[in-house]
Chain A
Amino acid sequence: MRALVLGVAGLALATAAAAKDKPKDAPATPPDVVRVGKDPWPSQYKPYPGQVTVIRGATIYDGAGHRFDNGMIRLEGGKIAEIGQTVSVPDGARLIEAQGKYVTAGIIDIHSHLGVYPSPAVDANSDGNEATSPARPEVWAEHSVWPQDPGFSRALAGGITAMHVLPGSANLFGGRGVTLKPVYGRSVQEMKFPGAPYSLKMACGENPKRVYGSRNQMPSTRMGNIAYARQLWSDAVAYKRRWDDYTRRAEAGTAKPTDAPRRELALDTLMGVLNGEILVQNHCYRADEMANMIAMSKEFGYKITAFHHAVESYKLADTLKAEGICSAMWADWYGFKMESFDGIRENIALVNAAGACAIVHSDDENGIQRLNQEAAKAIAAGRRLGLPIAPEQAWTWLSLNPARGLGIADRTGSLEVGKAADVVLWSAEPFSVYARPMTVWIDGALMYDWGDPKRRPTADFELGQPGVGDVK
């Protein structure tokens, strides 16, 4: 039997479910149900020790849209213990006087390739695109992540407290994304955000049709993109049907473990999407293609969580609001490829003004170091168009909205009591070009301090190399 069990967690769940629903005349032993494990490579991240810390006198943007002038916040036990105009200061707490400084929720980047396209960017390290078939939902970004990417240290110094690492966009189905913390580990498991859901990276538009069209393969057109994807979703629906049918029968005691469907790792991922367990992160530039993606999601019964690189979301902001789909955007990237030609600097502000979910993302090992600056440019562009945006509102683009887009908003993304103490103390108003993170806490542990070389990590790769230990 052991060989058939696909995950210890899966078995435990099966047993628990069976025990709960056990009918009176059920056999003494619970039915033996084979399940597709939902978290077979679980996180081994453990927060580092922190100390009770109170920050006093700072302006606070809590990430949920609130602002506290001359506020206080207490970090304790790895969590936000208290926030407001005054908080209690326990004996032995570290008290930071932060008049003139700013405190924010840690920045969360929903679109990163750190680890899968690490520095140095040599071919031997290039692991972000399994460009061998338009559909590779079976590959997982975490299996490409190099935990020693120097980029993690730079992201941390930019106030990042969590990031979503995605496969590239060569494929219609690029594989699974993983949420990491910028906390160095010896394995990727030690960096994984505990319990964060997986994502499925999808791509529409130019990239898949270019990559495969240039090899005279399908897809070579946008209609080919859609047709290819629809066939796969159709296969996934049938696969899910087989598993649902088997599970029903197995739970009723009428199917043996050997009756379980053969696992298709690719379709496992898509079934996870159809079951609402895996979130769709959809690379899509153009508004008309977003509309096609939405239509496809309705045809097959899944939900798109966010469109990424969504340079034309401003053309579809009302629909995106109605559909509850987030847009992950740059402030001003445009024009570098045909599908980015209509990018405008007002995009984020217009999405925000429509009441849709706006997220500032990087897709870049440099951009991830200053997403606050990207948001600042977007605020300014919006204001010039007559759209007032408060800074504390804009901070939701950097923390709570991406946390929602990653399914971790119950644990992080805002400085609300009980959430993780993922906090940044800034040297100045964080939408100023002159501001830098002074300190970054992750789960209440001080992981970065701009004034303390002992609180600035150096990746293995950089040891013994020119420039090591320099203030980057």
Chain B
Amino acid sequence: MKRLAITLLLAGAPLPAAAAPVAITGATIMTARGETVIDGGTLVFDNGRITAVGKDVAVPAGATVIDGKGRILTPGIIAATSDLGISEVNGVRETNDGSARQSPFSAALDLSTAINPRSIHIAISRMAGVTRAAALPDSAGSIFGGQGALISLSASGATLTRARALQYMELGETGGRIAGGSRPAAFAQLANMLAEAQRLALNPAAFDRGQDSGSLAKRLDAEALAPVIDGRQPLFVHVERASDIQELLKLKARYPALRPVLVGAREAWLVAGEIARAGVPVITHSLYDLPDDFESLAASRNNLGVLQAAGVTVAIAPLGGIGGTSPVNLPSYAGNAVAQGLVPGGKGLTRAQALAAITANPARILGLADTGTLEVGKRADLVLWDGDPLELMSAPVAVWIDGAAQPMTSRQSELAQRYKALGRTDLPLQYPR
């Protein structure tokens, strides 16, 4: 039985998924499956998959053993929304592939063509325990922003997990503005695009016979919406106001296979029952509590707690509107959702629910069926923490993706090392030391 110190694992380049099984022993295992927490548990993985997890799990012969005593093991964090891999510096236009105002296309835009596995933000987020993410477009010229991609944050470079995994759309104030100036304009654009998509699907030849010019729908865009209508692709809809949410839910009557996912949803708690009955998941931030716009007057940090209690599948994501919002802070956003439940009259999440809101639930919403929880058969996307993972002062000591130990360095950690001592020496700081 080989014993390998974690520090050794972390040095240098990423290791391929170990040929021999790896056992993490003695850790507190937060499975993200219900409220299940295993104290002093063992998790074994082999060939990139979890093969055993529990209290009395035998360590297989020949396994590399990692001592998890005093540590907490969780599934890898999953960012249900992000711009990872598609934007290097948001404010530098040429590095940002999130939106395309001048493009004649919208729903057809395929974010997977922009994914850059070498983005510095992937390493930075990975060090913070983020193992998978959805890369989402922004809508600019149309209410439809295009098709988001699912990525792995593995240093192996096998970044793209699923291209065209979802369609993104704006409603509410932003959708109204993009569509021409009103909410009805946004709904008209939506109705038209879905109708054109159906028309193309039913009779491509008729669609192509010159009728395209009057349809206000490009062929590629109409084609891209077919999987939305038949439910193969979830439709992520940015929507905030309660009435906008209700209006969106009505679409399910006309398009029963549609799988909307509410994004933002600051006023969702006002209509939590309806959302739950419709079986529609919600992706939001735990820190929204200001009337940022007229569509979010009821914003409250109770939102997640109320939705969870109503039976809605909720995910916490690094959405905008919160300064400095970032995937690296997902655990503390989840921790804040727990804290909300400790305020008199507050509605929050349990620790297990909060962890699930950044692991199991985003996995479910994104269709990443084999990730998000620590169960036998799932991918070995694992994070070993030096303390309560939802706490501000905790950090990962090790991260595995598909069973491969990940390097724990980034451009940021290199900068910190370079400038740790400022004293003048024989050569400028820019020379290797």
Flag whether B350 is at the interface (Cβ < 8 A).
no
With contacts A344-B415, A376-B393 taken as known, whether A122 is within 8 angstroms of B293 at the C-beta atoms is yes
Nearest B-chain residue to A383, judged by Cβ: B393
Looking at B101-109, B331-339, B376-384, the stretch in contact with chain A turns out to be: B331-339
Smallest Cβ distance from B123 to chain A, in angstroms?
12
Assess the A466–B242 pair: CB atoms within 8 A: yes
With contacts A350-B416, A431-B392, A466-B270 taken as known, whether A333 is within 8 angstroms of B335 at the C-beta atoms is no
Q: How far is the CA of A336 from the CA of B124 in the complex (A)?
A: 14
Flag whether A362 is at the interface (Cβ < 8 A).
yes
Assess the A427–B342 pair: CB atoms within 8 A: yes
Assess the A432–B392 pair: CB atoms within 8 A: yes
Q: Which residues of chain B are near A318, meaning CB under 8 Å? A: 422
Q: How far is the CA of A384 from the CA of B386 in the complex (A)?
A: 11
Flag whether A283 is at the interface (Cβ < 8 A).
no
Flag whether B431 is at the interface (Cβ < 8 A).
no
Assess the B326–A380 pair: CB atoms within 8 A: no
Flag whether B121 is at the interface (Cβ < 8 A).
yes
Flag whether B214 is at the interface (Cβ < 8 A).
no
With contacts A373-B392, A432-B392, A471-B345 taken as known, whether A465 is within 8 angstroms of B336 at the C-beta atoms is no
Q: How far is the CA of A462 from the CA of B297 in the complex (A)?
A: 8
Q: Which residues of chain A are near B339, meaning CB under 8 Å? A: 433-436
Of B294, B329, B416, which one neighbours A346 at CB under 8 angstroms? B416
Q: Which residues of chain B are near A336, meaning CB under 8 Å? A: 89-91
Smallest Cβ distance from B316 to chain A, in angstroms?
13
Flag whether B92 is at the interface (Cβ < 8 A).
yes
Q: How far is the CA of A380 from the CA of B291 in the complex (A)?
A: 32
| 8 Å CB interface, A438-472 against B | 450-451, 461-462, 465-467, 470-472
Q: How far is the CA of A338 from the CA of B293 in the complex (A)?
A: 28
Of A317, A335, A370, which one neighbours B121 at CB under 8 angstroms? A335
Interface string of A103-130 (1 = CB under 8 A from B): 0000000000000000111100000000
Flag whether B323 is at the interface (Cβ < 8 A).
yes
Assess the B291–A315 pair: CB atoms within 8 A: no
Q: Which residues of chain A are near B390, meaning CB under 8 Å? A: 433
With contacts A350-B420, A466-B270 taken as known, whether A461 is within 8 angstroms of B343 at the C-beta atoms is no
Assess the B343–A471 pair: CB atoms within 8 A: yes
Assess the B323–A119 pair: CB atoms within 8 A: no
Assess the B89–A380 pair: CB atoms within 8 A: no
Assess the B91–A338 pair: CB atoms within 8 A: yes
Q: Which residues of chain A are near B91, meaning CB under 8 Å? A: 206, 336-338
Smallest Cβ distance from A184 to chain B, in angstroms?
16
Looking at B139-147, B164-172, B247-255, B299-307, the stretch in contact with chain A turns out to be: B299-307
Q: Which residues of chain B are near A433, meaning CB under 8 Å? A: 332, 335-336, 338-339, 390-392
Of B287, B293, B347, which one neighbours A366 at CB under 8 angstroms? B287
With contacts A119-B290, A373-B392 taken as known, whether A470 is within 8 angstroms of B338 at the C-beta atoms is no
Q: Which residues of chain B are near A350, meaning CB under 8 Å? A: 416, 419-420
Q: How far is the CA of A436 from the CA of B344 in the complex (A)?
A: 11
Flag whether B210 is at the interface (Cβ < 8 A).
no
Q: Which residues of chain A are near B230, meaning CB under 8 Å? A: none
Q: Which residues of chain A are near B242, meaning CB under 8 Å? A: 466
Nearest B-chain residue to A346, judged by Cβ: B416
Smallest Cβ distance from A198 to chain B, in angstroms?
25
Flag whether B328 is at the interface (Cβ < 8 A).
yes
Of B300, B328, B419, which one neighbours A472 at CB under 8 angstroms? B300
Of A346, A380, A451, which one neighbours B344 at CB under 8 angstroms? A451
Q: How far is the CA of A336 from the CA of B290 in the complex (A)?
A: 23
Q: Which residues of chain A are near B347, meaning CB under 8 Å? A: 471
Q: Which residues of chain B are near A376, meaning CB under 8 Å? A: 392-393
Flag whether B227 is at the interface (Cβ < 8 A).
no
Flag whether A39 is at the interface (Cβ < 8 A).
no
Smallest Cβ distance from A138 to chain B, in angstroms?
29
| 8 Å CB interface, B260-285 against A | 267, 270
Smallest Cβ distance from B283 to chain A, in angstroms?
18
Q: How far is the CA of A318 from the CA of B421 in the complex (A)?
A: 10
Interface residues in B, total, Cβ within 8 A: 55
Flag whether B15 is at the interface (Cβ < 8 A).
no
Q: Which residues of chain B are near A451, meaning CB under 8 Å? A: 344
Interface string of A336-370 (1 = CB under 8 A from B): 11100111111000100010000000111111011
Q: How far is the CA of A467 from the CA of B91 in the complex (A)?
A: 34
Nearest B-chain residue to A452, judged by Cβ: B344
Interface residues in A, total, Cβ within 8 A: 61
Flag whether A151 is at the interface (Cβ < 8 A).
yes
Q: How far is the CA of A470 from the CA of B289 in the complex (A)?
A: 10
| 8 Å CB interface, B388-433 against A | 390-395, 412-413, 415-416, 419-420, 422
Q: Which residues of chain A are near B416, meaning CB under 8 Å? A: 314, 344-346, 350, 385
Q: How far is the CA of A466 from the CA of B121 in the complex (A)?
A: 38
| 8 Å CB interface, B71-87 against A | none
Nearest B-chain residue to A384, judged by Cβ: B395
Q: Which residues of chain B are near A228, meaning CB under 8 Å? A: none
Flag whether A246 is at the interface (Cβ < 8 A).
no
Interface string of B342-359 (1 = CB under 8 A from A): 111111000000000000
Flag whether B206 is at the interface (Cβ < 8 A).
no
Flag whether A150 is at the interface (Cβ < 8 A).
yes
Flag whether A68 is at the interface (Cβ < 8 A).
no
Interface string of A367-387 (1 = CB under 8 A from B): 101100100110110011100
Interface string of A149-160 (1 = CB under 8 A from B): 011001000000
Flag whether A289 is at the interface (Cβ < 8 A).
no
Nearest A-chain residue to B347, judged by Cβ: A471
Q: Which residues of chain B are near A150, meaning CB under 8 Å? A: 290-291
Flag whether A334 is at the interface (Cβ < 8 A).
yes
Assess the A366–B90 pair: CB atoms within 8 A: no
Of A121, A335, A436, which one neighbours B89 at CB under 8 angstroms? A335
Assess the B292–A120 pair: CB atoms within 8 A: yes
Which of B242, B326, B338, B339 is most buried by chain A, counting CB atoms within 10 A of its CB?
A: B339
Nearest B-chain residue to A210, judged by Cβ: B91
With contacts A333-B323, A350-B420, A376-B393 taken as known, whether A450 is within 8 angstroms of B290 at the C-beta atoms is no
Assess the A154–B291 pair: CB atoms within 8 A: no
Assess the A362–B92 pair: CB atoms within 8 A: no
Flag whether A330 is at the interface (Cβ < 8 A).
yes
| 8 Å CB interface, A400-452 against B | 427, 431-436, 450-451
Assess the B302–A377 pair: CB atoms within 8 A: no
Flag whether A332 is at the interface (Cβ < 8 A).
yes
Can you show 11 pairs from A to B with CB atoms below 8 A apart? A120-B294, A314-B419, A337-B90, A366-B287, A366-B322, A376-B393, A380-B392, A380-B395, A434-B335, A462-B297, A471-B347
**Closest 7 pairs between A and B when the two form their complex, measured CB to CB:** A364-B323, A467-B298, A433-B335, A337-B91, A376-B392, A466-B298, A380-B393
Other than the given A332-B324, A337-B91, A367-B322, 17 more pairs (CB < 8 A) read A154-B290, A315-B419, A315-B422, A332-B326, A341-B89, A344-B415, A350-B419, A366-B290, A376-B393, A427-B342, A433-B339, A436-B339, A436-B342, A450-B343, A461-B291, A466-B242, A472-B300
